[in-house]
Structures are given as C-alpha cells and as structure tokens.
Amino acid sequence: MLCNDCCRLVQQADHEYHFADPPTPIKQEVLTEEFLAAVTSTCYLCTRLHIELGAQKLQNLNSHLPKTNLVSFDKSAHCHVQHNNILVRMGCKLTPLCGTTETGEPALGKSYSYGYLQVALLPRNIQR
C-alpha cells in the first residue's frame, strides 16, 4: 500500500520509463505532517524511511531540530532503462535557519540530508 504522494510518484516514473526518451526524474517534497500521516496510514515506502531514520533521529525531528531548521521530506524517482528499474529515493532534508534578511525573510543555509532510503522497483511492463 502506498500513500497518494508515493503512488503518484511511481505512476509518473512508470509513465516516463515507457514513453519518454530520455526519461526525466520525477521529484516532489512533502512536509513533516504529511510524511507522518503517510506512515500512520501504512504507506510502505514512507514506513521504510521512518524505520531507516530510527528512533533517535525521529525524536530530534519532533523536538529541537524544527526550531533551527526547515524540515522537509523529498521523494524522487529516476528511470534506469538499461537496468530495467525505477530507482525511488526518499529522504529527510534539513535546511538551517540563519537569522533573517534585511526584508525580514528567513535566511537559509545550505540544505543537507538527514537520512534517506533508496528502493529499486520494476516497471509495470519492462518491454520497450
């Protein structure tokens, strides 16, 4: 079972695999609340990332990290026609908050990965 976001991601990647030449990567980003809702609705891919992050990182995401970082979860799919698979990468990304700009907007540092998961999936029909 997949959440709506993961299902849409895989469907778009499968379409790219079969009809685009060359296939382009599919990317999307979700908020922490959306990610946690997908875990509680038993999305297989989101649950795998949840397990991969582990209890300590999840505790940090629920406590002090959001005070000093923008937290997001990114999902991407890349078609590898020569290997007959779709590589799905899901990760947690942190972007440090570095104060504010002169206009009052948040100044952001360089984003970095806080943990990720990669899964290879077979397309629906690998005949091209």
Task: Note the pLDDT tens digit of each residue in 28-58.
Answer: 999 888 998 999 888 999 999 999 999 999 9
| pTM value surpassing 0.85 | no
Q: Write down the domain spans for the chain.
A: 4-121
Check whether 113 has a pLDDT greater than 60.
Answer: yes
22 upstream amide cis, omega within 30 of 0: yes
